[in-house]
Chains A and B, each alone.
Chain A
Amino acid sequence: QVQLEESGGGVVQPGRSLKLSCVASGFIFSAYDMHWVRQAPGKGLEWVAVTSNDGNIQHYGDSVKGRLTISRDNSDNTLFLHMSSLRADDTATYFCARGRRGDWLILENWGQGTLVTVSS
C-alpha cells in the first residue's frame, strides 16, 4: 500500500537551514506529483509547495517563496524540502502528500509528518 515517511525534522536556530526528506513506497513514485503541507502547533493546515512528477515544475505558497525549495529524486523515490533562512513561524509539523494522477492538487495520501522547531 502507499506509504510516505518523512524525516529530517528537529530543533534548528533561526536563520539556519534544514533539509526534510520523504521516502515513498507502494506506488510508482515517478508517476505522481508530490506536495509538502505544514501545520503549526495547534493551528490549521498550510499548503507549502508542489513538484510535478518529473520535477520540472514547482509552485510555492506565498509565505515560503524564496526560502523553501521542493525537489525530488525519482531514482530513490524520495521527495525533499530544503528550508533556508528559517524563522520562528516556520515551526510546524511538515507532511508530505501525494497528488492524484490527473488532478494534482487533490492530496490523496499523506505521511505522518516530521516536526521542525525553530528556536534559539
Chain B
Amino acid sequence: IQMTQSPSSLSASVGDRVSITCRASQNIKNFVNWYQQKPGKAPKLLISTTSNLQSGVPSRFSGSGSGTAFTLTINSLQPEDFASYYCQQIYMVPSTFGQGTRLEIK
C-alpha cells in the first residue's frame, strides 16, 4: 500500500493552524498512525488509528479521516512543533510510511 503525503514541506508561523494530508492507494479504513521527528532524534508516536492522541501529546494535535484520505491538524503552532511529520499505514504488512512533511518556521 502506498501512502502519498502532502505537502512535502510547509512554512508557517507560531500561532498558525496547519494541516498535513496522507492518501492511501487503497481503502485502509482507519488504520493510520502519525509520528513527529525532530532533527537527529527518533520518531515519536503522536496519534494512532487516525485520531487517538497519545498520552502526553498536546491537544492542539488532532487526526481525522477514513478510507483513503487522512489529515493531521495542528492548531496554534508552538515553537516546539517545527519538525518533520510522517503518516504510517497499519492496515496490513508490510507497513508503509508517507514520504514526510517538513514543517518550518516562516
Across the interface, B45 reaches (CB within 8 A) one of A44, A61, A106, namely A106
Q: A45-B35, A45-B86, A105-B90 are in contact. Are A110 and B44 (CB under 8 A)?
A: yes
Q: Which residue of A has the minimal Cβ distance to B37? A: A45
**Inter-chain contact A44/B94, CB cutoff 8 Å:** no
| A contact face: mostly helix, strand, loop, or mixed | strand
| B contact face: mostly helix, strand, loop, or mixed | loop
Judged by a CB distance under 8 angstroms, whether B99 is at the interface is yes
Judged by a CB distance under 8 angstroms, whether A50 is at the interface is yes
Q: Which residue of A has the minimal Cβ distance to B89? A: A105
How many of B's residues come within 8 Å of A, CB to CB?
22
- A-side residues, CB < 8 A to B, are 37, 44-47, 50, 59-62, 95, 100, 103, 105-108, 110-113
Subset of 22 A-B contacts with CB under 8 Å:
A44-B86, A44-B97, A44-B100, A45-B37, A45-B43, A45-B100, A46-B97, A47-B88, A47-B95, A50-B95, A59-B94, A60-B94, A61-B96, A103-B90, A105-B33, A105-B93, A105-B95, A106-B49, A107-B33, A107-B88, A110-B43, A112-B41
- B-side residues, CB < 8 A to A, are 31, 33, 35, 37, 41-45, 48-49, 86, 88, 90, 93-100
